[in-house]
Amino acid sequence: MASSATDVPVLEVRNVSMSFGKVRALQGVSMRVYRGDVVGLLGDNGAGKSTLINLISGNFRPDEGDILLDGKPRRFSSPAEAQAAGIHTVYQNAAVAENASVSANFFIGRELSRGIPGLRILQNRAMEETTRKVMAEIGVQIPSVRAKMGYLSGGQRQSVIVGRFVHWGGRIALLDEPFAALGLTESQNALDLISQVSARGIPIVLITHNIGQAWDVINKVVVLRHGEVVGDSPRKDVTPSEVVSMITGASRVETPGT
């Protein structure tokens, strides 16, 4: 459940602008994301969604404005810095080690081991058990934690990545078009996973073109058009058709202080 807007936002984008040469990608964009929020970041192609996500995740640095995490301004020089701070982006075709097992991917870079002089022994059984437990806790079904990631479906891969993010103490997840390559059943599983994660108080920014599919899990919409925020409102205060009108430019809805 989302926290009150009187709380300090987990993530705040404050008056951010960015240009690529003469192209103004973002202009004075502001957005607040609170604990437990599922924010639908919506807009047509070229609206600025990808640029904004790349700024938050450390791929770009803004020309103007600030990005705050837990109320403190942050300047990330790389995605690794943003991830270390708890900001994790899950892309539609997320990179995984396809020939490694689910548990190996889950612990990649954080492998459990015990050492004796001149030898490092991986604790595979402990890693498999932890992976199995976390996947069960967030309601993810996979054939086996020993299965190679390359044998998993797109939705299952995304679920493993999200589970890893939750387990390692992520502060906020950015999900970029998570439904694009999924069938109906996997899309519903993805929606269930989003609900499970937000129920833990972890906020999510959901970038999607499929408004109808995401409508039941988001609690707030932020709409970009030509690099500007043209809609910022609790979901309960707008309808899907009104959101479409914002995306196309027929209307504009902003709620101060959201």
**Ranges assigned E (strand) in the chain:** 11-20, 23-33, 38-42, 64-69, 72-74, 87-90, 113-116, 119-122, 172-176, 204-207, 220-225, 228-234, 253-254
State the total domains in the chain: 2
* Whether residue 183 has pLDDT greater than 80: no
**Is 230 inside any structural domain?**
yes
Both 144 and 254 in a single domain?
Answer: no
Let me know: does 202 contact 173? Beta carbons within 8 Å. yes
Both 190 and 242 in a single domain?
Answer: yes
- In the three-class reduction of DSSP (H, G, I as helix; E, B as strand; rest coil), residue 25 is classed as strand
Calculate mean pLDDT across residues 243-251. 87
Q: What is the pLDDT of residue 16?
A: 97
Structure tokens at 66: 């600030």
Q: What is the pLDDT of residue 33?
A: 97
% of residues, the chain, pLDDT over 90: 56
Both 76 and 191 in a single domain?
Answer: yes
Both 133 and 180 in a single domain?
Answer: no
Q: What are phi and psi of 126, to 5 degrees?
A: -65, -40
Q: Give the end of a domain, one of 169, 203, 220.
A: 169
Range with the largest mean pLDDT of 19-33, 80-94, 138-152: 19-33
Q: Who wins on pLDDT, 4 or 242?
A: 242
* Whether residue 234 has pLDDT greater than 70: yes
Calculate mean pLDDT across residues 87-105. 85
Which residue, among 13, 26, 4, has the nearest Cα to 73 in the 3D structure? 13
Both 204 and 138 in a single domain?
Answer: no
Calculate mean pLDDT across residues 48-53. 94
39: which DSSP letter? E
Q: How confident is the model at residue 93 (pLDDT cuts 50, 70, 90)?
A: low
Both 154 and 28 in a single domain?
Answer: no
Q: Give the end of a domain, one of 119, 140, 169.
A: 169
Both 123 and 183 in a single domain?
Answer: no
Both 73 and 190 in a single domain?
Answer: yes
**pTM of the predicted model as reported, rounded to 2 decimal places:** 0.84
Q: DSSP string of 149-161?
A: GGGS-HHHHHHHH
Let me know: does 178 contact 12? Beta carbons within 8 Å. no
Both 157 and 203 in a single domain?
Answer: no
**Is 28 inside any structural domain?**
yes
pLDDT in tens, 67-86: 999 999 999 999 989 989 99
pLDDT in tens, 197-230: 999 999 999 998 888 888 989 999 999 999 999 9
Both 145 and 25 in a single domain?
Answer: no
Q: What are phi and psi of 204, to 5 degrees?
A: -135, 135
Q: Who wins on pLDDT, 89 or 15?
A: 15
**Is 145 inside any structural domain?**
yes
**Amino acid (1-letter code) at residue 205:** V
Which domain covers residue 222, as residue numbers? 1-86+171-258
Q: How confident is the model at residue 21 (pLDDT cuts 50, 70, 90)?
A: very high
